[in-house]
Structures are given as structure tokens and as C-alpha cells.
Structure 1
Amino acid sequence: MARSLIIDCDPGVDDAIAILLTLAVPDRLNLLGITTVAGNVPLDLTQSNARKICELAGRTEVKVYAGCPRPLLRSLHTAADVHGATGLQGAALPEPTMPLQPQHGVDFLVEQLMQAEQPITLAVLGPMTNIAIALIKHPEIIQNIAEIVIMGGAVTQGNVTSSAEFNLYVDPHAAQVVFDAGAPITLIPLDTTHQLLTTPARLETIRQIGTPVAQAAAGMLAFYGMPDSQRYGLPGAPLHDPCVIVYLLEPNLFTTQAVHVAVETQGTHTLGRTVVDLWNVSGQSPNLQITRSLDAESVYALIIDGLAKL
């Protein structure tokens, strides 16, 4: 049976690639809907971008819901320098014609989880505001969550500050709510996603597919992540969010470790940092598992194969 899935995201180029990969494997992932949140760009763009990507893939039946327009306690910090002003820099996609659903994204999450006959997996690709509010409003939904797989955090260095990864920095308070909820969680941090690079050779392989989807993906990926590539001296841009979807499809391509993770919500210099207790020096029981490594060649091959199916 296909795994029932809801994607919560803030598209964003890497979110877009993750959505496309999901849409390429309906026999493996039964996408119940997409909820969007403010993050990489503001909410009016993230909800529009999600619909643009669904239309690009010819999947106009997918329902997209707008969620929270700002973090729980902080003002919004975006990443337009990485994703471009529209969030999908590098692809000239038309304005979407498929409708935005009138229901609020948080209410959709709650409704689906309350009514689910089988547990639902949540793929969380942006700040965790929507997920946190759903858990606060109706903590009983946790019994119908199969797993929450999250791209976020870092064991070592951040990417928006020296301590914090972007998604956690944008809404650290929401992340702490989610981490403390008691759901099964897999966290895919920067230390893992920085092992998955869009090298020139991989980008050319995507271009050679030749379809409109692949051409749009190649255009976005050519622009996306250049600041990170230059900053870290890498031979290509790290590709973050698709790791979540690949993990759901082929978890054996990743190594994992059960750990306790806390989120710094007050630090002047460390706000949004994930405090990862690798060696259990705190004595606290693990509250999630993190990925430590991935098989980059196999992961990227799966992404390319998915793009070729659309």
C-alpha cells in the first residue's frame, strides 16, 4: 500500500523538487494534500508556488492549503537571497489556475489526522509553525501520526547563523513544541543534506531529460544554492528538502541515530540551534532520530529518476 502523506512546506526551490519527486511516485506515496507556511518566502508566494509546481507536473487534483503567515512568536525571516524573490527563481512558471483551498492549512491537518483510518506521515520541509499549532489545538492527533520526517537543524554549524539552520531559526518555538510532542520523528539536518550536492554533472543529467518538468527543475537548481556552494567551497549546491521524500521511499540509503534534541529559544547568539546530544551526556531519553549520512549517488539517482517520470 502507498504511504498516506501530507507535505507541509514553504516552496522554495528544494521544496519544489521534493514535491515533484512525491508526485512522480503515486504508487508509493499517497499525497493527501499540501499545506504551506511562511518561510523561504511569504505565505502568499509559498501557497502559489505549491500550486505552480502541481500544475507543472500535471497534477491539478492535488489540494493545496495555506497555513500560517508568520512564526509563533517572532517576525518572519525569509530566504529570498537563496530562492529568489519569487521563491522559484530560474523557472518561468505561469500563475496557477488550480484553486487554493479555502480551509486553513492547520485545520486541514487536524481534520485529516482526526479522521484517519490509517496513520498518516507528515513530511515537513519548512518552519514547523503549522504542525506545532495543530498539535497545540488537538494533541490527540498524535495517535494517528505514523511519523514526522523533518528537514531541519544541524549537529555542527548552521546556515542562516553560525549556530542555526534556517527552518529552525525562523520558528524555534514551533520546533520545540513538535520535538516535545512525543511523535515518532526523524530529523534530517544540514550535516546530512550537505552530503547531497547538485554538481554540474548531475544538473546536466537533469537537463538532458528534456521534458518541461526537467527543464524547469534544472533552471531552478542552476540558480538555487549558489551562495551555499560559494560559502562552503562545495562543488555544487546542497539539496535539502528532497532528502525527506527519498528517506520515505528508501530509508536504507541513510544512517540514523536515536538522540535527544532540544531547540535554543532564547540565546542571543544561538537562537534556533538544535542542541543534539550525540553521546547522551544529559542523560535524557532520545526524543527523535537524526540521520548522520546518506548514499549520495543513490539518493540523487532516485531524484533524477523521479523527475524523468513526470
Structure 2
Amino acid sequence: MEDGSVFAVNDNAAVTESLRLERLAPPTGRIRAVLDTDTFNEIDDQFALAYAMLSPERIRLEAVYAAPFHNELSDGPKDGMEKSYAEIKRIVGKLGRSEDEDFVFRGSESYLPGADVPVDSPAARDLVRRALASDAADPLYVAAIGAITNVASALLLQPSIASRIVVVWLGGHALSWRDTREFNLAQDVHAARVVLDSGVPLVLIPCMGVASHLITTLPEIRHYVQGKGEIGSFLAQRFEDCCNDHYGYSRVIWDLSAIAYLVQPEAVPSDLVHSPVLTDQVTWSLDASRHFIRCVKAVNRDAIFKDLFRKLEAGTGER
């Protein structure tokens, strides 16, 4: 695609290829961001939210959105979103931020019911509001670490925000993987297609083959996280409770990758690639005629955990 060409979101808003490529450069300095998270789904979102709030030197975290999820920990997407909302509130409180602030928002109560049908929610509305209020030269980064429903809904509600945001999404598997039936993506295939097809500046972080290297163990957590303030003890307890047998056991903390891309992009190397097509079989299909996105190809596991551990020990964070 030639420089200056246009990709329209629902034919209402345009993102030029030159603007997209500019926005897809790894971030430098301090950026504005919101975090979209299915926080109660697992234990990794809690670590990611803490990491974001403990990194005010690189992230001005403006809001946190509760994303829907449905697994053995919830009765359905709405219940998952509500449980995530409550978990976000717990973590924010443990990091000393007032619950009275306009900071945590409920998200979608269901997944997209159709290809172009948004699910209205306080989170989607807040994302639209913040994006439209953004200076065109200072995009809002949207770190998404769950089903992409809230973000897709915001794009469908107000397509013009595509030129004012950069989406960093942990979703799907590596482009070479045999399928992309990953939890975040497979929950809401309609929403995933909206984002992938929209032309919005997108940084895609695959799970298997990339973020799957972000593993840790209970002994490491006990040594570097347990006792590091109220939040450290909370995270350590969440990790210990996630498994009945920690003998020889390690667990991946995938969601740190999206925050690490914003905090230390040199530890999250990536390439420009053409946006993949998400097939009906939930596999990737590559098409060189499509617009560019940035796709993460590796993570520096040690650098990311060291940064998190040091920040927990220092106990710094935005208040």
C-alpha cells in the first residue's frame, strides 16, 4: 500500500498509511494510556495492572476498563466483567488510588452479537470520550489484555477514534501457529475482526510462541514479590492459590507483555507486518495487500520481570 493511501473504518473515518506507520513506531517518553482487562479471569491481569500503575515514568494511566470473560470462574460474560470490575477495584485500592476517582469503568455485558454490532457500555463510551478529547499529535494508547469487545465497540460507536488511538492487544497466537484459538481472541471473534480490519494502528502480541515465554514460579514469586507492600502480598497469594501443586510448576504471566511494550519496548521486539485475516476456522491467513500492523516476535523475559520486581520493591506508583 502506497504512502498516503486511506483505509476507512465503516467509511466514516480515515487513517492514512503514513499516520498509521508513524503511530506504529515503538513509544518513547511518557504516554497516555488506558487498560482494558478481564482481571478476574486468571492471575496475570492482576500483575499487569500493578505493573502499569507502578510505571508512572512511562505511563500516565487514565482509566481501567473491565472486559467480559466466560470460563470456570464466571457464569457468563456479564458475570466475568462484574468480577473483573471488583478485582480492579481491589488492586487499585491496594496501590493507594482513591476509588472515588473517575478511573475504573464497567465494560460490555456480552460479546458482539454480530460483525458490525457494538455493545454499548461505560467503558466503550469513556474510551470514545478520551480518544476524541486527545490531541491529534498525542494518541491515546489502549492496552488490551482480554477479549477485545470494549475496544471494538468503541470503534463501531465512533469510527473517527481510529486516528487518535493506538491499540496494543494480547490476542491470538503467533502468525505461524497452526490455529489462533486463543482465549482472548476466540471469545469474541467478531470483535477481533473489527479491530484487525479497521485500520486502527494495532500492535498485536501473540500468546503461544511469543508471550508464552513470560513464565515464573512460586519460589521466585515468594522471593521477589511476597511482602513487597500490600500489593506484593496480594499478587503472591493469587499466584500461590492458582495451583494445588507447585512442585516443578511454572506459570505464564502473559499479560505483562502489553505493559512491557509501553514501558520498555526494547524488551518486546517487533516487526511491521500486514494485518492478518481471521478466517472462519479461527486461523490466520496472510494477505500482503492489507494495511500494516506491528506484530511482536519475542519478549525478553528477564528484563520484564526484573523491572516489575524492582518497582514492587521500591513501592513507587501513581497516587
TM-score by length of 1: 0.78
Bigger mean CA deviation after superposition, 211-220 or 197-206: 197-206
In the aligned structure 2, how far is the partner of 1:241 from the partner of 1:52?
Answer: 18
Code of the aligned partner of 2:103: K
Matched letter for residue 154 of structure 2: A
Over aligned residue pairs, what C-alpha RMSD do you find? 2.5
Asked if 1 retains the 8 angstrom alpha-carbon contact of 2:38 and 2:66, the reply is yes
Contact persistence 2:225–2:309 (CA under 8 A): no
Matches within 5 A, 1:80-159: 104-117=122-135, 118-145=138-165, 147-155=166-174
CA deviation digits over 1:147-175, x for unaligned, max 9?
211111102558xxx74110001001101
Matches within 5 A, 1:206-225: 206-224=224-242
Q: State whether residues 24 and 309 of structure 1, in contact with CA within 8 Å, keep that contact through their aligned partners in structure 2.
A: no
CA 1:68 to 1:18, structure 2 compared with 1: closer, same or farther past 3 Å? same
Instruction: Report the alpha carbon displacement of residue 45 of structure 1 after superposing the two structures with TM.
Output: 0.7
Partner of 2:5: none
Partner residue in 2 for 1:29 = 59
Aligned equivalent of 2:87: 49
Q: Contact 2:199/2:291 (CA < 8 Å) preserved in 1?
A: no
Question: Aligned-pair distance for 1:225?
Answer: 7.2
Distance, in Å, in 1 between the alignment partners of 2:69 and 2:142 is: 17
Distance in 2, matches of 1:194 and 1:293, equals 9
Equivalent-residue separation in structure 2 for 1:130 and 1:251 (angstroms): 25
Q: Does 1:180 align with 2:194?
A: no
Q: What CA distance in whole angstroms lies between the structure 2 residues aligned with 1:309 and 1:115?
A: 34
SS in 2 for 1:194: helix
2:162 touches 2:201 (CA, 8 Å); kept in 1? no
Q: Partner of 1:173: helix, strand, or coil?
A: helix
The count of residues paired between Structure 1 and Structure 2 equals 264
Aligned-partner Cα distance in 2 for 1:246–1:49: 21
1:238 aligns with 2:252: yes
CA shift in 2, pair 1:288/1:235, >3 Å: farther
For 1:295, the equivalent position in structure 2 comes to: 300
* Runs of at least 4 residues off by over 6 Å: none
Counterpart-to-counterpart distance in 1, 2:220 and 2:61? 27
3-state DSSP of counterpart to 2:297: strand
| Secondary structure of 2:64 counterpart | strand
Q: Which runs of 5+ in 2 are unaligned?
A: 1-28, 75-79, 115-120
TM-score w.r.t. the length of structure 2 is 0.76
Shift of 1:207: 3.9
Contact 2:226 2:236 in 1 (8 A): no
2:288 is matched with which residue: 259, 283, 287?
Answer: 283
- Identity among equivalent positions (%) equals 22
In the alignment, structure 1 segments of 5+ residues that lack a partner are 75-102
